[in-house]
Structure 1
Amino acid sequence: MTRVILVHGIGQQLRGPESITETWLPSLNDGLAVSGAATLPRHAVSAAFYGDLFRKPGHRGLGEPPLDASDVELGLEHDLLLSWWQAAADAEARVPAADASARLRTPRIVQRALNALSHSAFFAGLAEGAMIGSARQVRRYFTEPEVRRAAGERLARAVTDETRAIVAHSLGSVVAYESLCAHPQWQDLTLITLGSPLAVRGLVFDRLRPAPHGGTARWPVPVSRWINITDHGDAVALVKNLAPTFGTRIQDLTVNNGAHAHDVRPYLTAHQTGLALADALS
């Protein structure tokens, strides 16, 4: 009876499918309510949870030392942190801007990025290790085939004949897109992406499967309607509009999430999200 599937983003490794659903559902129903639509019962919603794939195994020691700037790997982890820094500085006056030296690959530059991001709305209150861990989860998804495959399988198991919409946040939009492309037999689904990094070239877009061709990504066959919703200040969704690279059938919308631009809850309570979901369910 699953009509709506929720696909979470980074930083959820200590949660589970039930806690994700219990957190998202009130906000999801708020969005439906403000759009004038009927709300959803608990049994109509399920989460495609993959956060545990990033959870570290237990051991007998007192705990691993926290990650610091010297632990950031060159390549995707490093480049993501600097991209988030630049996007946060562009959107928020309180975030110090990067300069030309930020293109250098040194722990000192990474430390500056972490210090700057600590002033941003999205990363405020997070320890440096958590910021690094967020970038590391993105890197692991794209570089560890078993993680990528398992995340897609979690979503595939959640889809039923009753499913009408997939609501995907942040890295979850990548999981959803790739899973939808891999299952052309699914039919007539609405995809709602929130704070999506899908169109970020060099970091995400060029790593997608199936690979984009000629600067354009393949349309996921099961999707009859795709609504992409972003906040202007969302540092993770560096490219706000997906239509230029994923197809003009996409409806790109902008919302205002206040101080917490990337938080999934204000995305879900937005009138635009409620309307898109209500249309899918009707």
Structure 2
Amino acid sequence: MKIIFIHGMNQQAYDANSLRQHWLNAFQAGLKHSPLEIELSSLDIQLPFYGDLLSKHKLYNNLDLQTLLPKSIAHLHLPFHLRHNSTIAPEHHPCISVLPSFNPAYAKSLTRHLALISALTRDHAFKELVLFLNHYPKLHETLIHKFLIETYLYLSNPDFMQEVHQRIISYLHPELDHIIVAHSLGSVITYNLLHQYPHFQIQRFITLGSPLAFKVIQEKLVTPISRPPQLYGDWFNFYSPDDFLTAFPLCKTPFNLTPPIINQAITTSLDNPHSITGYLQHPAVIQSILEALK
């Protein structure tokens, strides 16, 4: 059984080796709290790297979400029906891993306390913004084009898309079973790839902090939206209610699939809720991976 990690955007600061180690460190931290005694070295884990392709295309990801907000975000409130139109799946497995935001030692620091309050306020405002934008796909697409070059390039440039796909396909084996764990933009890439190349065997598909629920993303997916044809196991989707880049579970049309996607809200790190670190070391995520290995 091969475990394939698919990373998201904004990874140009890493190379293939350093990003792989970053993910493995988070995964190892989660394994330490698992009741199953599994050595990391015993697992066949691969992480295809495509973060260098932006430089090849002479593009740079100029994401600066601060410019999307007014100077003061403490009083940014959108209409009630926009703030509360998502369904939150209960967190069945509370986070017990030692994340920086939950370390008691940090609670004694006033500076740290203020930093967390600032992060929570920022993420709350960002989340309300993306909830609003989801009602206006054209405006959403304009902002993606301006601030999320990597996402827009993948969705709109067939050549770039195929280059990314080829990087990932080189790690897949047509005669082996795979568990795919995809974060952020990586979940969009994996969804498209699995529909274009149906000859691989997928035991379990796990999406972390996925933006697939956004209409602007759905408009550019392989249609009709459906379960990947070679997925013969479960599709787990983990999201954080504090993660403004996900905002919604994958349970409403067009993702009300049969069998249904298993959505679960989890608690990630408060100061960076979209980070792979908070997702990948969460006990529920670890369990979903290890269960598929049995």
Note whether the superposition's TM-score is higher than 0.5.
yes
Distance in 2, Cα, partners of 1:238 & 1:65: 26
Which residue matches 1:245? Answer: 254
Which residue matches 1:255? Answer: 266
Name the amino acid aligned to 2:243. Answer: D
Distance in 2, Cα, partners of 1:157 & 1:95: 47
Distance in 2, Cα, partners of 1:26 & 1:118: 25
Distance in 1, Cα, partners of 2:153 & 2:249: 24
Distance in 2, Cα, partners of 1:57 & 1:170: 21
Cα 1:278–1:187 shift into 2, 3 Å: same
Contact 2:50–2:167 (CA<8 Å) still a contact in 1? Answer: yes
**How far 1:123 moved relative to its partner?**
11
Distance in 2, Cα, partners of 1:244 & 1:36: 36
Distance in 1, Cα, partners of 2:279 & 2:242: 12
SS in 2 for 1:36: coil
Distance in 2, Cα, partners of 1:168 & 1:147: 18
Distance in 2, Cα, partners of 1:55 & 1:255: 34
Contact 2:123–2:243 (CA<8 Å) still a contact in 1? Answer: no
Distance in 1, Cα, partners of 2:266 & 2:63: 34
Cα 1:252–1:27 shift into 2, 3 Å: same
For structure 2, the residue ranges without an aligned partner over 5 or more in a row are 80-117, 127-143
Contact 1:25–1:42 (CA<8 Å) still a contact in 2? Answer: no
Residue pairs, 1:190-201, within 5 angstroms: 190-201=204-215
For structure 1, the residue ranges without an aligned partner over 5 or more in a row are 59-63, 70-80, 101-115, 125-130
Which residue matches 1:136? Answer: 149
Residue pairs, 1:1-282, within 5 angstroms: 3-37=2-36, 38-41=38-41, 44-55=44-55, 97=76, 120-121=122-123, 135-160=148-173, 161-201=175-215, 203-209=216-222, 211-212=223-224, 217-223=225-231, 224-242=233-251, 244-246=253-255, 247=257, 248-259=259-270, 260-282=272-294
**How big is each residue's C-alpha offset from its partner over 1:196-235, in whole Å with a ceiling of 9 and x where there is no partner?**
001211x1011102x23xxxx1210121221100000111
Cα 1:172–1:67 shift into 2, 3 Å: closer
Distance in 2, Cα, partners of 1:137 & 1:225: 29
Structure 1 segments, 4+ long, off by >6 Å, are: 116-119
Cα 1:271–1:137 shift into 2, 3 Å: same
Q: Please report the TM-score for the alignment, with normalisation by the length of structure 2.
A: 0.68
Cα 1:177–1:25 shift into 2, 3 Å: same
Q: What is the aligned-residue RMSD (CA, Å)? A: 3.7
Distance in 1, Cα, partners of 2:60 & 2:155: 25
**How far 1:16 moved relative to its partner?**
2.3
**How far 1:188 moved relative to its partner?**
3.7
SS in 1 for 2:122: coil
**How many pairs does the alignment contain?**
232
Distance in 2, Cα, partners of 1:50 & 1:96: 39
Distance in 2, Cα, partners of 1:25 & 1:31: 10
Name the amino acid aligned to 1:219. Answer: R
Distance in 2, Cα, partners of 1:187 & 1:66: 33
Name the amino acid aligned to 1:279. Answer: E
Contact 1:243–1:251 (CA<8 Å) still a contact in 2? Answer: no
